[in-house]
């Protein structure tokens, strides 16, 4: 599961956020499940029972169950916001720049620094080649409808919107080939609007760029 | 027959509303079975991609616009006048107009299936530019827009009617702070409808203008803006989901109190929480847009986290109601408990999704699909069945089998969780939503197989429910005024109620007038004995 | 009816607050406009609530137990059936279909809607003007 194998610097930060929330959620779920199920068992109606005590409020508990959730969400908001800012940050001088364009129904990857262009079709899935441990800035847009560029291994997606230029950084930390999908419904071949992300050592990437994308990886 | 077409009595209208929403529920459910069959295994080819797009579009549209939201309004139509001791709604003919606008609107949406090009196929949220004329040229999309416009007008008129009724037609002694919680939730729902539906009507009108009158609101090549569509849509769309839950919080509150033999715990908090939720829900909309990169993530994350607090307060109020009570696990009570357990999960994943870093991975994946099905299916739908088993005897004057009802609950609870829990994991394994198929990677084949099996268990359960209803009308076991030991005024009249609802009303001096009357009668009987 | 006023006053205050905070933190036109219009609508409703409250004297608001006194009170006439609602809904459908495909139907639908509103008024007058619509 990608959550346990984050493949980029940004993904590690995002995975940390997931961990915090999953732990908090588990704790809340266990407590609340107990509070919901317990009464149904402990105070199950017995045949001879009369009317139970008819209390209908408790100020002290009100303070607890309003205050504690507030502290909890406030406490979760801070790390969440910090990580969001870190993940959204754009390096001032990335090593590589790729212009990604979504279209019905595949992707175009253009490397302005080396002049390499990769265009895919639903049948020939395009590969986005990235250098390991270097920061690549992605400039993302669309030429027709809304699409979304999602790489589960990076725990990250951003929408490709016509009329918009979205920018984000990817700093991959693992060699390998990772799935990419379109995650904004865009019509008939939405499920086939796939791509691959191939992370290679810097030297291999340099060789590939120099050969205008013709060198085998 | 003509009587039903010209009826203005709120009880008749309420019944027609609820029955028609159930028709749309069955349609939407069958569409869900098509989805789950197509997704039972990787790379199946049971329906074409275009058909599949229409299927999931109509499934979502019908469930949201034609079932969950209007059922609450239909139930409100039936119950609110009874609960406040009124003879009818403030505007009976307007009420009927809403009903027929809803029915014709819903049928118009579905009629797209039989026109050239098929039904609308751009998702229930119908994002532009996908839904623009260049890309979705067929009449199906226009029929969808017209149908939803009619349903929107119906909802707005019903909201006006309900608010007026509650403010002006309460029986003597029925102060606002003695009203049943269900009625209060309906007031909050009505306020939300009034604030949220006009923007929907606007965005649909703008889409029509783009499609047919040469408009370019959402076409960037002509100066339009695609994110504008999302702002307008979700400014409506988020309150819509609270419109789809507040009435059901009300049902759960009523049921839990009666079957715990306790008064509602935290009555004032429940009311204030309803309005806190309603207010905040107008300020969270762009948490559906975190991945656009075009919104203030921090603002919307903060408001979305905040809205969890009044929701949590309601949970503690229900727990407090049950605490040290005398709990009877009737079918309505089982569904109310099921609601709480399921909605808790949906609420927790909702708070997770409110964190942009989490949303960057989970948005538009099956994790999101799991989240909203847990709150709408595990939540609202369970509450619908709780309400049905609770009020069916009152509405129709016949009893539903408790024994079969409990079987139905367990079958439904099992089927529901089997279908939707695996979807959390599917999302985490990288499966996006609205896809006609998926590759055989990770555990997607197994998880989807489980989900499909669960869907058919749900279908079986719903068939059982149909059988339970038919059996009830077959056996016709009569129902007294108050079969459950209820608290609120609907239990003070016959089952079903007479025309104009009440021959006489008990004194109202608390939020439990029928309970008070019962206690007074018991004390009087003891005094005589 | 003080609750009625309190509800709309607090909603209006909340609306103004959130529209302001959103504008200051986000500088985003669509959301500011939507929240602003919402706030304006709520202020309008609150204004009406304050004015209406002055004349309100509802039995429903009485905390004592006036049921016996109020018994037999005339609440007005409530219609029991009317053909106009279903015909109105049909007219709206015709109007919308006409708006997109058949301009003739647009005018037919509109004419029908106006006609029905006129007949609805007549129906109300038959109840002596004391009925609800």
Q: How many CA atoms lie within 13 A of B175 on its CB side?
A: 13
| Chain A with chain B: Cβ pairs closer than 8 A | 241
Mean pLDDT of A25-53: 96
What is the distance between the alpha carbons of residues A3 and A26, in angstroms, rounded to a whole number? 17
Name the band, by pLDDT with cuts 50, 70 and 90, for residue A194.
Answer: very high
The CA distance from C110 to C117, in Å, is: 11
Which of residues 150 through 169 in chain A touch B, CB cutoff 8 A? 150, 152-153, 155-159, 161-164, 166-168
Nearest CA in chain C to B178: C63
pLDDT confidence tier of residue A58, bands split at 50, 70 and 90? very high
* Strand-pair partners of A148: A159
Confidence (pLDDT) at B198: 96
Q: Exposed, middle or buried by CB within 10 Å (0-12, 13-18, 19+), for B380?
A: buried
Please give the average per-residue pLDDT across C42-61, as a whole number: 88
3-state secondary structure B130-194: CCCCCCCCCHHHHHHHHHHHHHHHHHHHHHHHHHHHHHHCCCCCCCHHHCCHHHHHHHHHHHHHH
At A162 the pLDDT is 98
The CATH homologous superfamily of the domain defined by A96-210? Cupredoxins -  blue copper proteins (2.60.40.420)
Cα separations (Å) of A156 from A8, A99, A142, B198? 10, 17, 18, 34
pLDDT at C133 > cutoff 50: no
CA B347 and chain centroid, separation? 15
Strands A166-170 and A176-182: unpaired
| Three-state DSSP class for residue A142 | strand
Residue C61's pLDDT is: 87
Q: List, for residues C10-46, the tens digit of each pLDDT value.
A: 999 999 999 999 999 999 999 999 999 999 999 999 9
With contact defined as beta carbons under 8 Å apart, do B253 and B274 qualify?
A: no
Phi/psi for B456 (5° steps) reads -75, -30
What's phi and psi for B429, nearest 5 deg?
-90, 10
| B325 closest CB neighbour out of A1, A3, A39 | A39
Q: Which residues of A touch B435 (CB under 8 A)?
A: 190-191
Cβ within 8 Å of residue C73, ≥6 positions away: C59
Averaged confidence pLDDT in chain C: 88
Question: Of B381, B407, B423, whose CA–CA distance to B461 is shortest?
Answer: B407
Question: Residue B478 CA to chain centroid, in angstroms?
Answer: 30
CATH 1.10.287 in chain A, residues? 2-88
The gap between the terminal CA atoms of chain B, to the nearest Å, is: 51
Mean pLDDT value of segment A85-102: 97
Subunits in contact with chain C (3 or more CB pairs closer than 8 Å): B
What value does the mean pLDDT take over residues A182-190?
98
Sheet holding A96-103, edge to edge: A116-119, A106-111, A96-103, A136-142, A166-170
In chain A, the N- to C-terminal Cα span, in Å, equals 25
* Residues of chain C positioned with their CB less than 8 A from the CB of B283: 18, 22, 35
Give tens-digit pLDDT for B9-58.
Answer: 999 999 999 999 999 999 999 999 999 999 999 999 999 999 999 999 99
Tell me what the mean pLDDT of segment A53-71 comes to. 96
Place B380 in a pLDDT band, splitting at 50, 70 and 90. very high
Res C67: pLDDT: 80
* A116-119 and A106-111 beta bridge pairing: antiparallel
Where do you find CATH 2.60.40.420 in chain A?
A: 96-210
Of B149, B173, B299, the CB nearest to C62: B173
pLDDT at C132 over 70: no
pLDDT recorded at residue C130:
54
In tens, the pLDDT along B108-125 reads 999 999 999 999 999 999
> How far is the C-alpha of B49 from the C-alpha of B437, rounded, in Å?
9
Rounded distance between C-alpha atoms, residue C33 and residue C36, angstroms: 5
Chain A partners within 8 Å of B341 (Cβ): 33, 36-37
Question: Do residue B172 and residue C67 have CB atoms under 8 angstroms apart?
Answer: yes
List of chain B residues whose C-beta atoms are within 8 Å of the C-beta of residue A152:
361, 429-430
User: Using one digit for the tens of pLDDT, what is the confidence trace for B233-276?
Assistant: 999 999 999 999 999 999 999 999 999 999 999 999 999 999 99
Q: Choose among B88, B170, B173: nearest Cβ to C67.
A: B173
Q: What is the pTM of this model?
A: 0.97
CB within 8 Å of chain B, chain C residues 40-79: 41-42, 58-67, 69-71, 75, 78-79
Residue B103, pLDDT score: 98
The answer to whether residue A121 scores a pLDDT higher than 50 is yes
Query: Chain A residues with CB inside 8 Å of B323's CB?
Result: 39, 43
pLDDT higher than threshold 90 for residue A32: yes
Alpha-carbon span B89 to C77, nearest angstrom: 12
pLDDT band for position C122 (cuts 50, 70, 90) = confident
Q: What's chain A's Rg over C-alpha atoms?
A: 25
Cβ atoms within 10 Å, residue B133: 17
For chain A, list the contacting chains (3+ Cβ pairs, <8 Å): B
With an 8 Å CB cutoff and a minimum of 3 pairs, decide whether chains A and C touch: no
Between chain B and chain C, how many beta carbons pairs sit less than 8 Å apart? 173
Chain C residues closer than 8 Å to B232 by CB: 30, 34
Nearest C-alpha of chain C: how many angstroms from B6?
Answer: 5
- Identify which of B481, B488, B515 has the alpha carbon closest to the alpha carbon of residue B171: B488
Cβ density class B405-427: b for 16+ within 10 Å, e for less: beebbebbbebbbbbbbbbbbbb
Q: Tell me if residue C131 falls in helix, strand or coil.
A: strand
The number of residues in chain C equals: 133
Q: Is the pLDDT of residue C74 over 90?
A: no
Please tell us whether the domain made up of B2-528 is placed in CATH 1.20.1250.20. Answer: no
Q: Residue C56 pLDDT > 60, yes or no?
A: yes
Query: What's the rounded Cα separation, in Å, for the pair C47 and B58?
Result: 41
Question: What's the alpha-carbon Rg for chain C, to the nearest Å?
Answer: 22
CATH number of A2-88: 1.10.287
- Per-residue pLDDT, averaged over B165-187, amounts to 96
On whether the CB atoms of residues A158 and A140 are closer than 8 A, the answer is yes
pLDDT at residue C129 tops 60: no
Q: Which element (helix H / strand E) includes A130?
A: strand A127-131
Cβ-defined contact of C67 to B505 (cutoff 8 Å): yes
pLDDT at res. B527: 85
For residue A157, the SS3 value is strand
**pLDDT tens sequence across B459-505:** 999 999 999 999 999 999 999 999 999 999 999 999 999 999 999 99
pLDDT band at B143 (very low <50, low <70, confident <90, very high): very high
CA distance B295 to C34: 15
């Amino acid at each position: 599961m990608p959550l346990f194998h984050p493949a980029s610097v940004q993904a590690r930060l995002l995975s940390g956020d997931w961990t915090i929330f999953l732990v908090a959620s588990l704790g809340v779920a266990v407590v609340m499940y107990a509070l919901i199920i317990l009464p149904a068992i402990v105070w199950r109606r017995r045949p001879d029972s009369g009317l139970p005590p008819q209390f209908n409020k408790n100020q002290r508990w009100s303070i607890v169950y309003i205050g504690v959730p507030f502290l909890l969400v406030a406490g979760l908001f801070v790390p969440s916001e910090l990580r969001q800012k870190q993940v959204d940050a754009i390096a001032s001088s990335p090593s590589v720049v790729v212009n990604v364009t979504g279209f019905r129904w595949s992707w175009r990857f253009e490397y302005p620094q080396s002049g390499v262009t990769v265009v895919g079709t639903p049948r020939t899935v395009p590969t986005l080649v990235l250098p390991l441990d270097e920061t690549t800035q992605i400039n993302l847009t669309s030429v027709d409808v809304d699409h979304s560029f999602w790489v589960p291994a990076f725990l990250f997606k951003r929408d490709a919107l016509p009329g918009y230029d979205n920018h984000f950084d990817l700093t991959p930390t693992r060699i390998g080939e990772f799935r990419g999908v379109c995650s904004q419904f865009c019509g008939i071949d939405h499920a086939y609007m796939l791509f691959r992300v191939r992370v290679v050592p810097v030297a291999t990437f340099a060789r590939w760029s120099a050969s205008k994308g013709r060198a085998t990886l | 027959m003509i009587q039903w077409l010209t009826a203005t009595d709120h009880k008749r209208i309420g019944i027609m509303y609820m029955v028609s929403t159930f028709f749309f529920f069955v349609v939407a459910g069958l569409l869900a079975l098509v989805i789950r069959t197509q997704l039972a295994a990787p790379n199946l080819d049971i329906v074409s991609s275009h058909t599949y797009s229409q299927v999931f579009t109509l499934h979502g549209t019908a469930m949201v616009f034609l079932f969950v939201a209007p059922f609450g309004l239909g139930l409100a139509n039936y119950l609110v006048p009874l609960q406040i001791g009124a003879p009818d709604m403030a505007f009976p003919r307007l009420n009927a107009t809403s009903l027929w606008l809803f029915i014709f609107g819903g049928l118009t949406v579905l009629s797209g299936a039989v026109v050239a090009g098929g039904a609308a196929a751009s998702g229930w949220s119908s994002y532009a530019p996908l839904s623009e004329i260049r890309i979705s040229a067929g009449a199906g999309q226009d029929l969808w827009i017209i149908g939803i416009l009619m349903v929107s007008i119906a909802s707005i008129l019903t909201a006006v009617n309900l608010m007026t009724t509650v403010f002006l037609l309460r029986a003597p002694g029925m102060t606002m702070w003695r009203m049943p919680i269900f009625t209060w939730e309906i007031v909050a729902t009505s306020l939300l409808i009034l604030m949220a539906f006009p923007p929907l009507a606007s965005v649909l009108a703008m889409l029509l203008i783009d499609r047919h009158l040469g408009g370019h609101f959402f076409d960037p090549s002509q100066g339009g803006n695609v994110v504008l569509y999302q702002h307008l849509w979700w400014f409506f769309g988020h309150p819509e989901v609270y419109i789809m839950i507040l009435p059901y919080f009300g049902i759960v509150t009523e049921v839990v109190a009666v079957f715990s033999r306790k008064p509602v715990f935290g009555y004032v908090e429940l009311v204030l929480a309803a309005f806190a939720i309603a207010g905040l829900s107008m300020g969270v909309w762009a948490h559906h847009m975190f991945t656009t990169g075009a919104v203030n993530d921090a603002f919307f994350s903060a408001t979305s986290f905040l809205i969890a607090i009044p929701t949590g307060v309601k949970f503690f109020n229900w727990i407090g109601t049950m605490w040290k009570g005398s709990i009877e696990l009737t079918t309505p009570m089982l569904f109310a408990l099921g609601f709480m357990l399921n909605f808790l999960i949906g609420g927790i994943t909702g708070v997770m999704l409110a964190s942009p870093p989490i949303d960057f991975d989970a948005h538009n994946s099956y994790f999101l699909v799991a989240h909203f099905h847990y709150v709408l299916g595990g939540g609202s739908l369970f509450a619908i069945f709780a309400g049905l088993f609770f009020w069916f005897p009152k509405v129709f004057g016949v009893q539903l089998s408790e024994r079969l009802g409990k079987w139905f609950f367990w079958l439904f609870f099992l089927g529901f969780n089997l279908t939707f829990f695996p979807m959390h994991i599917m999302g985490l394994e990288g499966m996006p939503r609205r896809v006609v198929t998926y590759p055989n990677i990770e555990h997607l084949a197994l998880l989807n197989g489980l989900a499909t099996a669960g869907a058919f268990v749900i279908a079986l359960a719903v068939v059982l429910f149909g059988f339970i209803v038919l059996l009830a009308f077959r056996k016709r076991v009569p129902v007294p005024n108050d079969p459950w030991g209820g608290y609120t005024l609907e239990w003070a009249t016959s089952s079903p109620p007479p025309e104009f609802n009440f021959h006489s009303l008990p004194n109202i001096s608390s939020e439990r007038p029928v309970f008070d009357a019962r206690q007074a009668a018991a004390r009087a009987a003891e005094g005589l004995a | 009816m003080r609750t009625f006023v309190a509800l709309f006053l607090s909603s209006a205050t909340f609306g103004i607050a959130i529209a302001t905070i959103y504008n200051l933190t986000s500088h985003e036109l669509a959301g500011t406009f939507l929240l602003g219009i919402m706030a304006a609508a709520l202020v309008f409703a609150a204004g009406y609530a304050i004015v209406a409250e002055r004349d309100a004297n509802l039995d429903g608001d009485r905390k004592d137990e006036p049921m016996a006194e109020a018994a037999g009170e005339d609440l007005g006439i409530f219609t029991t059936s009317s053909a106009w609602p279903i015909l109105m809904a049909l007219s709206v459908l015709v109007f919308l279909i006409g708006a997109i495909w058949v301009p003739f139907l647009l005018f037919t639908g509109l004419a029908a809607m106006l006609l029905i509103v006129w007949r609805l008024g007549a129906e109300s007058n038959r109840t002596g003007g004391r009925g609800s619509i």
